């Protein structure tokens, strides 16, 4: 396990024994679907089962941290961890400052541009996120800087800044939740080719390439996203050149967040390395050293099934040792009676966890050995068989009473 821990793993899934490819594929799909699509924790997504295709009965187990989840919603909305969680196209980066401009939150901010050395056309940052059912809005801070101001206000050189949400459906419908450009911003800030209005000049502190740079200053936009609850979407910030690539536009982005603050944010949980030495199953550590169960079976036809059931019973009860599941091949009703009457439960409570029986049967009887007329019956008259074929049988009421949590008969008709 050390190699996984050194790589930063907090949870590890593995197998107890040899398993088949079919089992790996089925279990992996179930597990990852529950974690990724279902939003469940590493333990909640784990469903213990044995490989029914293999006699060794290998089983998926979990070690390490049981309560880890994939982040719900946004990852790294403040760009404090670089571009972790974000995908970029063209110029998309995480920076500490641009000239004298600092982030609105934390020590870093995102930037997209149409030509600051990384691209000549566009800058995009996007993230695939899940919108939790408790979220109402998403908000973000932005600062639009461009060389298109003031000279090209009112012209076709109208670089757009777009924020969109794309539904991860078959149609991949993209919905623009913010769609502004040089001309719209000029109108918002009362600016013209001859009057800067409320735009802010940042040159010569900030120089892009061809002309003076003006900016809006930090703005905050809040978008209602209740219609997208419980859906996977792609949140995208983009800026691109309109018509030509001569003059550059850049947009700073920071503090992207939901209105609900208490969502799990995916931060690493420190894990005690000792937990990697234990198997964990359905909230039970394999530390039950006192419980007991029994498997009674017909050795002629049910041996391999009984081996499988024994391992399954051990895992489902969280036993430390397989020997806690007593294993008895039964050929006569006398043997059955002796084993049953000598079964012992938990030393403190006397309760037996499971008794599993693997024999042929019909409606009224269990066939211990039908060739030698060895039957157990529930028939009031103490007989087995039907019609003209009636045999005397051992009635189960003659067995000693036991405290048993669960008794199960795994059977099929002899015919």
Which helix (DSSP H) or strand (DSSP E) does residue 215 occupy?
Answer: strand 214-215
Task: Locate the domains of the chain by residue range.
Answer: 1-70+269-284, 87-258, 286-415
Selected from 1.10.287, 3.30.70, 3.40.50, 3.30.60, the CATH number assigned to the domain covering 286-415 reads 3.40.50
CATH fold for domain 87-258? Jelly Rolls (2.60.120)
User: What whole-number distance in Å separates Cα of residue 159 and Cα of residue 146?
Assistant: 9
* pLDDT, tens digit only, all 415 positions of the chain: 566 666 667 787 887 777 788 778 888 888 888 887 677 778 778 776 766 665 555 777 777 777 777 766 788 999 999 998 899 999 999 999 999 999 999 999 999 998 886 666 789 999 988 888 888 999 999 999 998 888 878 888 888 999 999 987 757 788 999 999 999 999 999 999 899 889 999 888 888 877 789 999 999 999 999 998 888 889 999 999 877 767 889 999 999 999 876 454 444 444 444 444 444 444 445 567 889 999 999 998 899 889 888 887 887 787 888 899 999 999 998 999 999 999 999 999 999 999 999 998 877 788 888 677 788 887 777 776 655 566 677 888 889 999 999 999 888 766 5
Q: What is the pLDDT of residues 152-207, one digit of tens each?
A: 788 888 889 999 999 877 577 889 999 999 999 999 999 998 998 899 998 888 88
User: What whole-number distance in Å separates Cα of residue 406 and Cα of residue 294?
Assistant: 11
Q: What is the pLDDT of residues 288-298, one digit of tens each?
A: 788 999 999 99
User: What whole-number distance in Å separates Cα of residue 322 and Cα of residue 326?
Assistant: 8
Quick one: tokens of 103?
A: 């982030």
**288: Cβ–Cβ under 8 A, 6 or more apart, which residues?**
317, 318, 319, 320, 324
DSSP letter at 286?
A: S
Q: Are 131 and 263 in contact (CB under 8 A)?
A: no
User: What whole-number distance in Å separates Cα of residue 375 and Cα of residue 383?
Assistant: 9
């Amino acid at each position: 396990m050390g190699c996984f821990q050194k790589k930063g793993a907090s949870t590890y899934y593995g197998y107890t024994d040899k398993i088949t490819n079919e089992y790996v594929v089925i279990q992996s799909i179930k597990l990852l679907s529950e974690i990724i699509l279902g939003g469940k924790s590493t333990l909640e997504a784990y469903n213990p089962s044995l490989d029914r295709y293999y006699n060794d009965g290998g089983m998926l187990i979990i070690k390490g941290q049981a309560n880890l989840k994939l982040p719900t919603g946004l990852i790294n909305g403040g760009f404090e961890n670089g571009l972790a969680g974000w995908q970029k196209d063209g110029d998309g980066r995480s920076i500490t400052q641009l000239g004298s401009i600092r982030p609105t939150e934390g020590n870093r901010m995102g930037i997209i541009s149409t030509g600051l050395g990384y691209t000549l056309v566009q800058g995009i940052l996007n993230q695939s996120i899940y919108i939790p059912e408790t979220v109402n809005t998403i908000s973000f801070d932005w600062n639009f800087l461009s060389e298109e101001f003031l000279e090209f206000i009112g012209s076709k050189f109208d670089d757009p800044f777009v924020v969109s949400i794309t539904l991860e459906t078959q149609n991949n419908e993209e919905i623009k939740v913010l769609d502004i450009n040089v001309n719209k911003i000029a109108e918002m800030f009362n600016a013209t080719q001859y009057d800067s209005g409320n735009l802010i000049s940042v040159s010569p502190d900030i120089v892009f390439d061809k002309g003076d740079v003006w900016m809006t200053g930090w703005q905050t936009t809040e978008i209602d996203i209740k219609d997208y609850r419980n859906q996977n979407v792609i949140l995208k910030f983009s800026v691109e050149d309109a018509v030509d690539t001569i003059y550059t536009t850049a947009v700073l982005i920071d503090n992207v967040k939901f209105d609900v603050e208490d969502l799990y944010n995916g931060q690493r949980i420190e894990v005690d390395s000792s937990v990697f030495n234990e198997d964990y199953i359905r909230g039970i550590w394999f530390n039950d050293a006192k419980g007991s169960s029994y498997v009674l079976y017909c050795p002629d036809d049910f041996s391999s099934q009984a081996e499988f059931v024994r391992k399954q019973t051990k895992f489902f009860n969280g036993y430390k040792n397989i020997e806690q599941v007593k294993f008895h091949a039964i050929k006569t009703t006398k043997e059955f009676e002796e084993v049953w009457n000598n079964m012992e439960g938990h030393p403190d409570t006397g309760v037996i966890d499971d008794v599993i029986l693997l024999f042929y049967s019909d409606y009224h009887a269990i066939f211990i050995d039908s060739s030698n007329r060895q039957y157990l019956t529930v028939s009031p008259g103490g007989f087995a068989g039907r019609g003209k074929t009636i045999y005397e049988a051992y009635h189960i009421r003659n067995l000693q009473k036991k405290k048993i949590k669960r008794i199960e008969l795994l059977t099929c008709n002899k015919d």
